[in-house]
Amino acid sequence: AAIVMVCIAAIAAIGTRTNALFENATTEMQNHGM
């Protein structure tokens, strides 16, 4: 059970980071008019 919780936490952290990176990239593209 503990291992499953760690996996879920890791996936959630990676998902959050990926979302932030994607939003930053989208903002950058809009700023540069691409």
The identity of residue 23, as a single letter, is E
Convert 19-29 to b/e letters by CB count within 10 Å (16 or more is b): eeeeeeeeeee
Tell me the per-residue pLDDT of 2-15, one tens digit each, with 9 for 90 and over.
899 999 999 999 98
For residues 32 and 26, give the distance between their C-alpha atoms in angstroms, rounded to a whole number: 10
Would you list the domain boundaries of the chain?
1-29
For residues 4 and 30, what is the distance between their CA atoms, to the nearest angstrom? Answer: 39
Q: Does pTM top 0.85 for this prediction?
A: no
Q: Between these two residues, 29 and 33, which has the higher pLDDT value?
A: 29
What average pLDDT does this structure show over 22-31? 89
Distance, CA of 28 to CA of 15 (rounded, Å): 20
